[in-house]
Amino acid sequence: MLNMLMPFAGNLMTTGMGILPHKEMVGALSVAMSVDIPFWPQLPKMKYFEDMYVQASENFPGIMLDPENRRIYFSSEKFYEELENVLMHLENEAFFRMSPQFSAAYHQFLSYDLSQYAAIRGQLEGPVSFGLNVMDENKKPMIFNDEVRSILFDFMARKANCQLHELKESNPQAFLFIDEPGMQYIFSGLSGYTAQMARVDLEGFFAQIEHPRGIHLCGNPDWDFLLHLDIDILSFNAYNCGEIFVKYRDGIKRFMDKGGMFGWGLVPSNHDEFNKESTEGLSRHIETLWRELEKAGFDMHQMLSQSILMPATCALMNPDGSETVERAYDCLKILSRRLQTKYLHYTDER
């Protein structure tokens, strides 16, 4: 029997990106519920408070929201004014719960019967990306304030645990992605927040979060850095970064052998990339990556049992709104069934 960190076998099942471009909830939830592993969608085009940064900011001391201009700021003065109240509530899980104001989609998702699915998935904006992107009154990323940073990682870990607990009440096999779109910048030498700093911070962060938990990002970071973190699943953009990723064979082998799962971001969802592709071309692309690993000595059955399939990126700026994204999800489901039939001998009956 294969060693698994996740409570289910991947077997090329499908899930989605957290962010969808829909301006209304019904269509977005229809997409989110159509995959093998449903997820609650973040809908910044529907409402400012459905944005991933805004959702993560709820109750964090010092945060100032400007919904009219869709901006989020950090005030050092306000941080110290509100810090005592946060410290008083550290053991109160309800304090870290996402309220309906900050995500109507999340609460609607939790109202469904989710028990029959193999798993369900949530997500939370990660502390590295949050801390690098939210600026203080001096236009300096809040992550550079040592006291703020220590509170930030602890706060986000508690927020992650709260969400994971709620999801597991609906489906015991629920898991959580920590979304870190800004992670790639810490390896550029330009951010001022170094990879070594991030390693220490993230090791402490993930040590606080219950399993199963993982990281999702669309960029191209140092893959060895991520493969050596204490996570159960790594979701990445295999469409754009797959050829680079599969070169990190020692890290991939170590991650697989400890039972880690991969989320292969296969189908592009932005308009231009999607419309130049075909299901056959995308299938060839992912199979080429898998065969490269197989030729290097990886066991194909183990690899596929520890893999799920996803869109490659979110896409908020498509000229056709949500149309291309919905087509991308349909393509993803078709590819999943074809690849399952080819490699895992599944039938197409669902």
* pLDDT tens digits, one per residue of 161-186: 999 999 999 999 999 999 999 888 88
Tokens of 298: 């990886």
Domain that holds residue 160: 13-344
- pLDDT tens digit sequence for 243-292: 999 999 999 999 999 999 999 999 999 999 999 999 999 999 999 999 99
Question: Is residue 349 domain-resident?
Answer: no
Looking at residue 347, its pLDDT comes to: 53
The answer to the question of residue 350 being in a domain is no
**Residue with the larger pLDDT of the pair 328 and 183:** 328
In a domain, 2, yes or no: no
- Residues 28-85 have pLDDT tens digits of 999 999 999 999 999 999 999 999 999 999 999 999 999 999 999 999 999 999 999 9
In a domain, 287, yes or no: yes
pLDDT of residue 1: 45
Per the domain annotation, does 8 fall within a domain? no
What is the C-alpha separation between 319 and 323, in angstroms, rounded?
9
- 254 belongs to a structural domain: yes
What's this model's pTM, rounded to 2 decimal places?
Answer: 0.95
Question: Is 17 within the bounds of a domain?
Answer: yes
* Radius of gyration, alpha carbons of the chain: 20
The domain that holds 292 is classified in CATH as 3.20.20.210
Predicted confidence at residue 189, as pLDDT, reads 66
Q: How many domains does the chain have?
A: 1
The residues, ordered by sequence, that sit 6+ positions from 46 with a Cβ below 8 Å of its Cβ are 22, 23, 24, 25, 28, 105
pLDDT of residue 2: 58
Residue 250 contacts by C-beta under 8 Å, 6 or more apart in sequence? 224
**59 domain-assigned:** yes
Question: Distances in Å between the alpha carbon of 30 and those of 42, 112, 329?
Answer: 13, 12, 11
Q: Cα angle vertex 38, ends 37, 40, to 5°? A: 140
311 contact partners, CB below 8 Å, separation of at least 6: 16, 17, 265, 266, 267, 268, 269, 325, 328, 329, 332
Two tokens at 134? Answer: 């939210």
User: Across the chain, which distance is largest between two alpha carbons, in Å?
Assistant: 61
- At residue 350, the pLDDT reads 41
Span 139-156, average pLDDT: 96
- Using CA atoms of 212, 326, 42, 242 in order, give the dihedral in degrees to the nearest 10: 50
At residue 339, the pLDDT reads: 97
Cα separation, 81 vs 36, whole angstroms: 45
Residue 32: the pLDDT is 98
